[in-house]
Amino acid sequence: MPRTIIPFGPQHPVLPEPVHLDLVVEDEKVLEARPSIGFIHRGLEKLVEKKDYVEFVYIAERICGICSFIHGQTYCQAIETIMNVAVPPRALYLRTIWGELSRIHSHLLWLGLMADAMGFESLFMHSWRVRERVLKIIERTTGGRVIFGTCKIGGVRRDISGDALKQMLADLKQIEKDARDITRVFLNDSSVKDRLCGVGVLPRQEAYDLGCVGPMLRASGVVQDMRQLGYAAFKDLDFAPITRTDGDSYARCAVRCEELFQSMDIIRQAAMKIPEGEIAVKVAGNPNGEVLTRTEQPRGEVAYCLKANGSKNLQRFRVRTPTFANLPAMLKLLPGCELADVPVLVLTIDPCISCTER
Amino acid sequence: MTPLPQDQSVEPIPVSALLEKVDALRKQGYRLVQISATRLPDGLELTYSFALEGRLAQFRLHLPDDNPRVPSISSIYWCAFLYENEMHDLFGLAVEGMAVDFKGTFYNTAIKFPFGSTKAPVAKPATTTATSASSAPAPTPPPGSTTATAT
């Protein structure tokens, strides 16, 4: 059988966003994958020359519609580090709660997309049904479902009352129950296991060398989670990175499933420990200096490099998103796989092209 | 939980020392976090960031405006080819020896080198922006991969 090139994307049923792969195949075996990205590069980093550093929070939040809050939070953290702003502790706890809610809804979104890619439509619908409840909590506490708009330099714009926190914890109890039912299927159903177990194995050392981040890296056994840096309220909270050692698609799915419950636990801890007090401080002047700030998004480490020269516009705003870091691993995983496994392997890195094409 | 430390210092180095420095970090077990370019009035500034657990190591290169070029570190960190192709397409930086070279097709931007290059940004010809991935120059295959023939 001669070799053939099969185009995969940029428009494809499993891809919500455009990315293209030229798959070199022999029979049903993929021999090589040649990527093309950059179909929707938006040049948001360049906008920093037109928007002042306070306004730019809104741009940072719009880098991605799934992890938008953590983008805004990371940008604010970076500016606060340059300007030595002491953010009130209550604001740090609120940021932690909203960040973990983002992680839950992002992982549920991914679980649904993965179920859809496998043709398990009822599991897809259940995953998104539960996700909707998380979005309702977010809407109730921030006013938004996609863009929260609550983070600002020096703190947050909105508080969560004691009653709202109690309601959130009660809702989380029901969400946890439903999520356990769903993850039980993901982790035990034979048809899911057939599609994921042993598919796209990424050994520990290779995952590290390729610069992988997030669940992609932890599923290969590397203990790395930027929340260990202790930003926001994480320095006061107990948690340990969730890892697996198999490094296959099933392990990556399992890490995301377990992280759902870890995030719920972190929210409960934060709700118990959240101090009373101010939620923001006034920030005056312009930033002068540079910083590299890293946080843990649902898809992994995001790195923000900011450079300021004392004017109201930053000199440079550079974002390295988790998907950008996980793309090389995807290219390494595809050669040798079956053509039918390509959608699973592409989805297994939880690709966010919107982030990558910032 | 005890927070991990973070050192933000950046070490300026000459271009000639880049590969040696990066190789030394690789041998110590550091991973590549990011490479960023910044347009300055008198040239281009590159920052290479590496991390090992909580520790950061950062290098800085200052390149003159006249024909900036830098060796690729993708022979040491294979994943660096993404950052290097990005710097080429956005800033017009010539990176020599990339493991996977997209030859300027990594980002489909309306203008060439939109983040500023030594030459003024110019509009790409319409045919270039409309180039499909399949007709674009094929990137150099990753080391060890099989050379394919289209049929």
For A36, which of B31, B38, B136 is closest by C-beta distance?
B136
Distances in Å between the Cα of B124 and the Cα atoms of A80, B69, B105 are: 39, 22, 12
Instruction: For residue A284, count CB atoms less than 10 angstroms from its CB and return exposed for 0-12, middle for 13-18, buried for 19 or more.
Output: exposed
Q: What 8-state DSSP symbol labels residue A155?
A: E
Q: What 8-state DSSP symbol labels residue B97?
A: T
Instruction: For residue A82, count CB atoms less than 10 angstroms from its CB and return exposed for 0-12, middle for 13-18, buried for 19 or more.
Output: buried
Measured CA to CA, the distance from residue A231 to residue B136 in angstroms comes to 43
User: A294 vs B79: CB contact, 8 Å cut-off?
Assistant: no
Distances in Å between the Cα of B66 and the Cα atoms of A96, A277, B16, B97, B122 are: 46, 55, 17, 20, 18
How far does Cα A322 stand from its chain's mean position? 7
Instruction: Scan for tokens 């649904």, then name that residue.
Output: A112
In chain A, which among 215-274 make CB contacts under 8 A with chain B?
224, 228-231, 234-239
Nearest-neighbour CA in chain A from B48: distance (Å): 11
Using an 8 Å Cβ cutoff, are B85 and B98 in contact? Answer: yes
Q: Given this model, what pLDDT does residue A350 score?
A: 81
Nearest-neighbour CA in chain B from A174: distance (Å): 28
Task: Kindly tell me if the per-residue pLDDT of A182 is higher than 70.
Answer: yes
pLDDT tens-place string over residues B94-121:
888 888 888 877 777 778 887 876 555 5
Name beta bridge partners: A20. A36
| Residues 6+ positions from A107 with CB-CB distance below 8 Å | A256, A257, A259, A260, A263, A298
In chain A, which among 174-213 make CB contacts under 8 A with chain B?
208-211
Using an 8 Å Cβ cutoff, are A39 and A358 in contact? Answer: no
User: Which residues of chain A lie closer than 8 angstroms to B39, CB-CB?
Assistant: 316
**B149 to chain A: closest CA residue:** A3
Between chain A and chain B, how many beta carbons pairs sit less than 8 Å apart? Answer: 131
Order the strands of the B43-52 sheet from edge to edge: B11-12, B55-64, B43-52, B31-40
The whole-model pTM stands at 0.87
Measured CA to CA, the distance from residue A228 to residue A74 in angstroms comes to 15
Closest by alpha carbon to A74, among A284, A315, A306, A339? A306
Alpha helices in chain A (DSSP H): 56-61, 68-82, 89-118, 121-142, 162-188, 190-196, 204-209, 215-218, 249-273, 322-333, 342-348, 353-356
Report percent pLDDT > 90 for chain A.
59
User: A43 vs B109: CB contact, 8 Å cut-off?
Assistant: yes
**pLDDT-derived band at B69, boundaries 50, 70, 90:** confident
Closest by alpha carbon to A48, among B116, B8, B42, B12? B116
**B145 to chain A: closest CA residue:** A32
For B108, which of A38, A290, A327 is closest by C-beta distance?
A38
User: B1 vs A238: CB contact, 8 Å cut-off?
Assistant: yes
| Residues 6+ positions from B142 with CB-CB distance below 8 Å | A331, A332, B78, B99, B100
Which helix or strand (DSSP H or E) is residue A159 part of? none
How far does Cα A10 stand from its chain's mean position? 22
Q: Given this model, what pLDDT does residue B124 score?
A: 56
Q: Given this model, what pLDDT does residue A153 score?
A: 93
Instruction: Scan for tokens 């390295």, then name that residue.
Output: A320
Q: What is the mean pLDDT of residues A223-247?
A: 91
User: A229 vs B47: CB contact, 8 Å cut-off?
Assistant: no
For B148, which of A5, A36, A41 is closest by C-beta distance?
A5
Q: Which amino acid is at A111?
A: L
Mutate one of A23, A32, A36 to test the B interface: name it (highest B CB count within 10 A): A36
Establish whether this prediction's ipTM goes over 0.90.
Answer: no
Nearest-neighbour CA in chain A from B99: distance (Å): 12
**pLDDT-derived band at A174, boundaries 50, 70, 90:** very high
Measured CA to CA, the distance from residue B86 to residue B83 in angstroms comes to 5
User: Minimum mean pLDDT among A66-70, B1-5, B86-90, B127-131: which range?
Assistant: B127-131
Using an 8 Å Cβ cutoff, are B100 and B47 in contact? Answer: no
**A47 to chain B: closest CA residue:** B115
For B133, which of A20, A235, A320 is closest by C-beta distance?
A20
For B1, which of A10, A234, A325 is closest by C-beta distance?
A234
pLDDT higher at A185 or B140: A185
User: A303 vs B32: CB contact, 8 Å cut-off?
Assistant: no
For B109, which of A4, A20, A41 is closest by C-beta distance?
A41
Supply φ then ψ for residue B77, to 5 degrees: -115, 100
Q: What 8-state DSSP symbol labels residue A338?
A: B
